[in-house]
Amino acid sequence: MRGDSIVVEKHHRKAATGIVALLLPLLEASSQRHTVSISGQSGSGKTETAVALSDALAEHHIACAILHQDDYFVHPPKTNDRARRNDIDWVGPQEVKLTLMDEHVHAFLDGEHEITKPLVDYESDTITSELMMFGDARVLIAEGTYTTLLKHCKTHIFIDRTYLETREHREKRMRDASELDPFIDRVLEIEHGVISSHKPRAKIIIDTHYNATAAT
């Protein structure tokens, strides 16, 4: 999404290093393309961890491409905020074109070289499209709150931090003052209730200290 603020910090790279240690055996066992999802609460560091993971895999000569769920929302961000305020029941996976995102993940697995995907511009509150080339990417990372629901992601990663624990990060990347008003806390509470049920789908868990462990 254009206009997003991404600051990769030491703890994101710590999580990425742990993920790579768990992913490498899978990647070394097959020459096929692999797909990964990174999900978690708003502000948990999904985007930053995805970028850090891409960088960490590059050190092992494994190229990545990244899909951001923010580009797949039905409405652009400011319009979506108004829709939520008009009807709180709008909050949830229905806000996102998950079927389309999953089709694009599947296209990567099928060996496609490119996709035409949505592109959100935060400032202008618009959604256009862009051609995304996969190039020599061996791994596709799909990051976003509800990406554990993507059926074509082979390895699901879940960042296990609540919206209360992520407030500091949300303050750092704040794009608009409305993101930290009491209504948004209500939205995040609803999101937390939804994605908590997704955690059992994950193969890798990132804890509050950014340690990566295989799910039991």
Torsion angle in degrees (nearest 10) through CA of 120, 121, 125, 130: -50
Is residue 126 within 8 A of residue 9, CB to CB? The reply is no
| Position 25 in a domain | yes
pLDDT for 161: 85
| Position 5 in a domain | no
| Position 126 in a domain | yes
pLDDT for 168: 61
Is residue 71 within 8 A of residue 121, CB to CB? The reply is no
Instruction: Enumerate the β-bridge partners of residue 151.
Output: none
| Position 174 in a domain | yes
Give per-residue pLDDT as tens, 51-79.
Answer: 999 999 999 999 999 999 999 999 999 99
pLDDT for 1: 66
| Position 115 in a domain | yes
| Position 183 in a domain | yes
Give per-residue pLDDT as tens, 12-39.
Answer: 999 999 999 999 999 999 999 999 999 9
Domain total of the chain: 1
| Position 26 in a domain | yes
Count of CB atoms within 10 A of residue 154's CB? 17
List the CATH number of the domain containing 123.
3.40.50.300
Task: Give the structural domain span for 20.
Answer: 10-208
| Position 4 in a domain | no
- Please spell the DSSP secondary structure of the chain, one letter per residue: -BT------HHHHHHHHHHHHHHHHHHHT--S-EEEEEEESTTSSHHHHHHHHHHHHHTTT--EEEEEGGGGBSS-HHHHHHHHHH-GGG-SGGGB-HHHHHHHHHHHHTT-SEEEEEEEETTTTEEEEEEEE-TT-SEEEEESTTGGG-TT-SEEEEE---TTTTHHHHHHT-SSGGGGSHHHHHHHHHHHHHHGGGGGG-SEEE-TT--EEE--
